[in-house]
A and B are shown apart, each in its own frame.
Chain A
Amino acid sequence: MWELIRINKRKSLFVLILMFILMVSFSGAIGAGFYTYYGGINIDWVPGMLWGTLIGILLWAVQAAVAYFAGDDIVLHFNMAVVVTPESYPQLYNIVEEMKIAAGLAVMPEIYIVQSEGLNAFATGIRPEKTAICVTRGLVENLTRDELQGVIAHEMSHILNRDVLFMTFAGVMLGTITMLSNVMLRGTVFANSNSRRSRKKGGFSGGHPLVILIILLFAIVAPILARIFYFTISKKREYLADASAARLTRYPIGLASALEKIAKHSSVDFVSKITAPMFIVNPRFTGGDEDSLFAASTHPPIYKRIAILTQLQHSGKVSLENYQKLYEKELETSGLFSKTTLESDKSEAARAESTEKITEFTESRKDVADVILANTGFKILTCECGLKIKLPPSDLRMKVICPRCRKELSVSGESAAMSGNGGNELVFMRKNKNSWESFPCQCGKFTFQLSPLFRGTYAVCKRCGTKVKIEYPE
């Protein structure tokens, strides 16, 4: 089955090839540009294009080779990682071993720990015989056993699906294209000023304007396109790793709640752009709209990942097929896995929570905070999945959708301001007719505002037309 998931990458491979073509044609255009620039308009530019292509591929190949043979060590070195032994962190070591068994990996990955308070983890390992999983100290300290297991399973899936290899080659391509574009954007500016100078001297003819235009266009468009390609692959890989992790642990909620915790403190200070996609949650994310294309683009929006995993747990059957269904529903796009992969997958029942004692000081502190909020007019709804939704008094919705498990909850006590009087009529009792008073309509879209001068018997909602009778105290 895992073999099939690994093969199940045709779409990603297609994007990777597109990226390669982009890189090659860009470097080819540059080569042709140089030829016409130095040789005049009438020169044959084909050899120039070939030279450019060759140099572009060479640039990429050298970087890819460095990444392939020394990438892991470089990444771990830059992140100042320390090796974990069974003695130093027994639980972490055990969890990694458990996941190694579940994944059926032949070689145990090395485990590293980064001295950081942030919560994050990443996997490296381009060659299957030498892989590593790296976690932050904050992660080990703040997650429960089940949550840690989910995170490790996610990283293990990256190793299993050979994502690191894939993303490294794609990343190097992105780097090459960006580099070429930077050089060219500066180069053409210089070239123009140079040619003006040389033209004054009456010598050099300058490049073909069309070629220069094409190069400029490439220099601007290519890096953007490459980035979009890269992020498309990267996001898909995350969902695949989530699905595999759920299947490995049979406990999707563990990963879901880990993601929730991690989302709050994922920032790790010393992460470079290049290592970012290897992390479980984007470590460079500093807030803003998660859905937008450029904000947190290496990773899909975390709430969607959590929602899929939580629903998967509640569906009872943990299988790739189920994950795919939820994925399609949540993202409104077509599937992750090919038909043959799904056919060879064995569905497993979700397992129960592990019997581990959690001493939660923070839990009781949260309870106190809830009481204070409730007293200040907040409505607190507890969803089936355990999430507490706190609605501020200004929120007038009658129905709220749980952001974690997508269940619709009706807000009770919403119409406390109004009450029925036997029939279908709604009544609002004014407390003080000499001041401004407001109350929400049951449709949730409109707020009645009664001025101190209002003395009518009925008020009508401007959105849904509900008639509310207004009564006055004696």
Chain B
Amino acid sequence: MTFVLIFLVVVVVCALTLFGMYNKLVGLRNIVKNSWSQIDVQLKRRFDLIPNLVETAKGYMKHESETFIKVTEARAAAMSAINKGDVKEIGAAAANLDSALAKMMLTFENYPELKANQNFLALQEELTSTENKVAFARQAYNDAVMGYNNAVEMFPTNIIAGMFSFKQSDFFEIEDKEEKQAPKVTF
């Protein structure tokens, strides 16, 4: 009788621990998913901002059509990458867009009238902030992936992860060198 009781207790404790580990993994994976959707939201927000900004700036900058074309192309490429949904591809496309935008922002500095335009200033703040938000969302995503991957790899949660096929997630790295050495602007 006592033996059965002990056996039952052991079984229940084991089951509870396993449930706990499984739930932890699911929780971590959900955080990763949520963080990813945040990146998505911010990237799309940036796509919406770019045409507005380009339209406002075009009136003042007659000779910079090449810069605008590059930005518009990079935007289109990034949008199609997002629709495909591959993490690595999105990273590369986003990096391209980043550098194109950075170059455009640099050319803005040569147009003082543009910088006096209230509408433009508001747009610029929005764009700066959205870029920051993309970067911070990426950072938060990577933090989440780090936590999740650790749990998938480390004992004892790795046993459960193997049983229920929890796969490691990719980091969202930006390979572009220009991103890492962001241009320094002095006025």
Contact = CB atoms under 8 A, between A and B. Distances in A.
A and B associate: yes
Interface of A: 1-3, 90-91, 94-95, 97-99, 101-104, 145, 149, 248, 250, 343-346, 348-349, 351-358
B146 A352 contact: no
Contact of B38 (A2, A101, A357): A101
Contact of B185 (A101, A102, A348, A355): A355
Contacts of A250: 139
Given A1-B143, A344-B146, A352-B183, 7 more contacts: A90-B125, A95-B129, A101-B133, A343-B150, A344-B150, A352-B184, A355-B105
Contacts of A357: 115, 187
A97 B128 CA distance: 13
Nearest to A149: B132
Contacts of A355: 105, 128, 183, 185
Contacts, number: 71
B117 to A, nearest CB: 14
Nearest to B130: A94
B185 A98 contact: no
B143 A346 contact: yes
B129 A102 contact: no
Nearest to A105: B140
**SS class of chain B's interface: helix, strand, loop or mixed?**
helix
A145 B128 CA distance: 10
**Which residue, of A95, A102, A248, has the highest number of chain B Cβ atoms within 10 A?**
A102
A179 to B, nearest CB: 43
A349 B122 contact: no
**Which residue, of B34, B140, B143, B183, has the highest number of chain A Cβ atoms within 10 A?**
B143
Nearest to A103: B140
Interface string B145-165: 011001000000000000000
Given A1-B147, A99-B136, A104-B143, A90 B122 contact: yes
7 tightest A-B contacts by CB?
A102-B136, A94-B129, A352-B182, A355-B185, A104-B140, A101-B136, A98-B132
A355 B106 CA distance: 9
B140 A98 contact: no
